[in-house]
Homo-oligomer: A and B are copies of this chain.
Amino acid sequence: MKENPLNLLMSPRSIATVGAGNNPTKMGTIQALSIVKDGYRGRFYPIHPTEKEVLGHKAYPSVFDLPEAPDLAIFIVPAAQVISLMEDFGKIGTRRAVVITAGFRETGREGEVLEEKLKESAHRYGIRFLGPNCIGLLNSAISLNVTVMPLEGPPGLLGMASQSGTYVTQTLPYLKRRGIRFSKAISLGNEADIDICDALAYLGEDEQTKAIALYIEGIKDPARFLRIAREITLRKPVIAQYVGGTEAGARAGSSHTGAMAGPDYLYEGLFQQAGIIRVHSVEDLYGQGWALATQPLLRGKRIGVITNSGGPGTAMSHTCNAGGLEVPVFSEELQEKIRPHIPPHGARANPVDLTFFLDIQAISRTIPELVMQSDEVDGIVLHGAMGTGFMNQIYTHAGEMFGVSREEFLEAFREDTSAAVELPKKYGIPFLVSSFFDEDDDYTTAYREHGIPVYDAPEKAARAMVALWKYRQIRGRRLEAAPPLPPASKEAAALIAGAVERGAPFLDEYASKKLLAAYGIPVVNEELANSAKEAAEAAGRLGYPVVLKGCSEEIAHKTGRGLIHLNLGEEGAVRRSFEAIRQAAGKEIPVLVARMVRGQRELVAGAIRQPGFGPCVMFGLGGIFTEALRDTVFRLAPLSRLDALEMLEGIRARELLGEFRGMPAADRQALAEILQKVGNLLLLHPQIREIDLNPIIIEGSRPVVVDALITF
C-alpha cells in the first residue's frame, strides 16, 4: 500500500509558515500562534520579508534562507503568491504543504485555472498538500494546532475530516464545553490534492482515533471512498453528515469549496454500503461520534434507564425503543435489590425512577452498579446525577437560611463523584448520561473528564445509544469482495453496436431482454411476431395465456397507449389484439408475444450512471408504485453478493419478499444475482447509460423480468 500523504503532513518534525507575522489582528499570525502556543515541540520556521523575529522565533526572509527543508509548509498568503512559493519549497525539498489561502476553484472559472496550476506545481515537486481554502489541522497527540482557536485539554479520541474548516476550528470552544476532544482533525478545503479519502484512510489507521466523524459536501471519488470506508467500519465506527443532497445544499457547497455534490439517495446508499452511520446535524456528528469514540462495543440491545424524573425517563425509554433498542422489565430479584434505594412511590422495573429524590449516591452509584452487576442490560442511560449545578440553584432562594456563603454551601454539598464515574469502566458497559445541568455541575464535569458523554437532553443520550447499536450491527458484517467481472457477451456487444450504429437512443424491449438474457438474467419467454398468424403460432409455442405488446425502438413507454394486451386466453384473442396494437401504433411495428407471468409482487431493478458518481444499482418496489412511493435503495457497482442481499432488506416493503399472504418467499439469491448482473452490465458496456427492469414479477418464488429498457 502506498504511504498515506497525511502520515508526514500530520506529524511533521518541522514547520515553516508563510504569512504569519507579529500583527495579532492578521489571520496568519493567529494561526501561527496556535502552533507556537499549544505545545508543538517540532522546529518552527516563520518566513517573513522584514521581521527578524516572529512570535519569538527567528524569522527567515525567504524559503531559500531556511536552515533545512521543513517537513511541512503552511501558506497563509494571497492566492497569487501561493504557486511560486509552492515551487520554492519544492526546490528545497519540502514535500508536504497546507494551503489555507482561499480564492481558488470555489470562486469560479479563473480560480479553477489557478487551482489547476497549483496542482501542477506541487505535482512537479512531488508535494502533497491540504487545501487550498482550508483552515488547517489538529494533531492532539503532538499538540500541533494550526487552526485559529486554542486547543485545550488532553488528547482526544474522535478523528474528524471536514469539508468545512469551521467544524475543526470555530467549534473548538463548543466542543470543549461538551467534553468532546479530537484525536486528529483535518480541514480539507477544496481537496485539490489530498482529499477526504486520504483523510479517512489516515484516520482509519491512526491508533489514537477510536471513531471517525466526516462532514461532507461532496465526494469526488465515491468508489475509492467506499473501498476505504467499508474496510474501516468493520473495526472502527465512522459517522457522517452529508449536506449536498438538496438543490440549495449542492449550490451552497459548490460556492463553498467547489464541491461536486450528488443526489441524497445515492449518498444514502453509499453510506449504507460502506457501513457508515449517517446523521443530519453537526451536533449529532460530534455528540454521537463522541459516544462511538469513548464507549465499548454494545453487546446487545437491552438498555437500562435510570432517572430521577418521569419525563426524561419516559422520553429516554421511548427513544430507545423507537430506535430498535429494548428496555426490558427487570427481574423480580433485581427489583428487590433496587427497592431499598428508592422512595416507596418510585419505579424499579426499568426505567428505574427515583422521582425527585436527592440521594445522589443512590442514582449515580448504588443503582447503576446493581444494574450493571445483574447482567440484565447491555447499556445504561442515566438522567438525574446532579450535584453543585442543582445546589447552586437551590442556594439562590434558600442560601441565607443556611447562613453560609454560596461557595461554602456548594462545598458542603459537594459529593465524591469518583466511584460513580469509574463504574462504567469497571463493568465495561456503555454508559451515557443526560443532564440539564451544565459545566457548573460537578457530576457533569466529572463524567466528561472520565470520557463519559453527557448530553443536554435525554433524547440525545438515548439516540447516542441507538448509534452504538447501529454500530454493533455494522461491526457484525462481513467484508465480501464483488466477484470478478464476467467477460462481455458477444451477443450483447453486437446488440449495442447495432443500436448505436442506427443512432437509436435505446434498445427496444425485445432486444433489451435478449441482452439481459445473454448474461443469464431471467426474462420472460417471448417471441417477436410480424403478423397475426405469427403471433398466434408463437402463442401456441409459449402456452396460453399470453401478453401482446407493440415493440419498437421508437416507443419507449407503452403504458396507456393501447399497445399492451394482457391475459389473452386463445388464438382468436391473440389475432384480434395483434391487429388492435398495429392500429394503435399507427404503423406496422413488430409485436411481442410473451407468456403471461402471474404474481402480485412487482419489483424494479435498474442501474444508472450518475455524473461524478459512477455506475449505481437500484432496487425497489416496482410497477405503478415505482414513482408514487420511491421505495428504492441504491448501491455503487460492482456489488458483492452481500451488497445485493442488503439492498433487498433495505426497502420499506421488505416484508413482501418473505412468505406473505399465502405466497412463498421470493428467491432472494436469484434477485441478488439480477442486481449484481445489472451493475456489471454498466461496467462492461460503457455505452449503456441506464437500465430499467420494471416490473420484475415474483412468479411463485422466482423473479422474472417482464419489461425492460436499456438506454444509451
Contacts and interface: CB of A to CB of B under 8 A. Distances in A.
Interface in A299-327: 305, 309-315, 317-322, 326-327
Interface in A245-268: 245-249, 251-253, 255-257
A4 interface: no
A39 to B, nearest CB: 12
22 contacts: A27-B356, A34-B397, A37-B396, A37-B397, A102-B345, A107-B344, A148-B356, A166-B310, A243-B314, A244-B318, A245-B322, A247-B327, A248-B317, A249-B315, A252-B317, A252-B351, A281-B319, A283-B460, A561-B662, A621-B629, A628-B660, A629-B629
A673 interface: no
A64 interface: no
A175 to B, nearest CB: 9
Nearest to A283: B457
Closest 8 CB pairs of A and B: A560-B662, A164-B311, A249-B318, A256-B310, A246-B321, A248-B327, A281-B459, A248-B317
Interface stretch (A224-232, A577-585, A649-657): A649-657
A631 B655 CA distance: 13
Interface in A639-686: 652-656, 660-663
Interface string A57-68: 000000000000
A14 interface: no
A561 to B, nearest CB: 7
A33 interface: yes
Contacts of A243: 314-315, 317-319
A24 B150 contact: no
B398 A321 contact: no
Most buried by B among A22, A351, A393: A393
B255 A347 contact: yes
A361 B278 CA distance: 36
A30 interface: yes
A324 B656 CA distance: 31
A318 B218 CA distance: 13
* Contact count band on A: 35 or more
Contacts of A397: 30, 33-34, 37-38, 150
Contacts of A128: none
Contacts of A102: 345, 355
Given A150-B396, A458-B282, A625-B625, A252 B436 contact: no
Contacts of A631: 629
A302 B248 CA distance: 12
Contacts of A50: none
Given A356-B135, A624-B600, A170 B30 contact: no
A552 interface: no
A163 B315 CA distance: 11
Interface string A450-485: 000000111110000000000000000000000000
A283 B456 contact: yes
Given A165-B311, A315-B243, A398-B24, A628 B655 contact: yes
Residue of A171, A397, A663 with most partner-chain B CB within 10 A: A397
B256 A314 contact: yes
A333 interface: no
A177 interface: yes
A654 B249 CA distance: 26
Contacts of A282: 311-312, 315, 457-459
Interface string A262-292: 0000000000000000001111000000000
Given A27-B356, A559-B662, 9 more contacts: A150-B393, A167-B311, A215-B311, A243-B318, A243-B319, A252-B318, A281-B315, A282-B315, A621-B629
Counting chain B CB atoms within 10 Å of each CB, the highest count among A38, A353, A401 belongs to: A401
A627 interface: yes
A493 interface: no
Interface centre among A103, A215, A310 (most CB of B within 10 A): A310
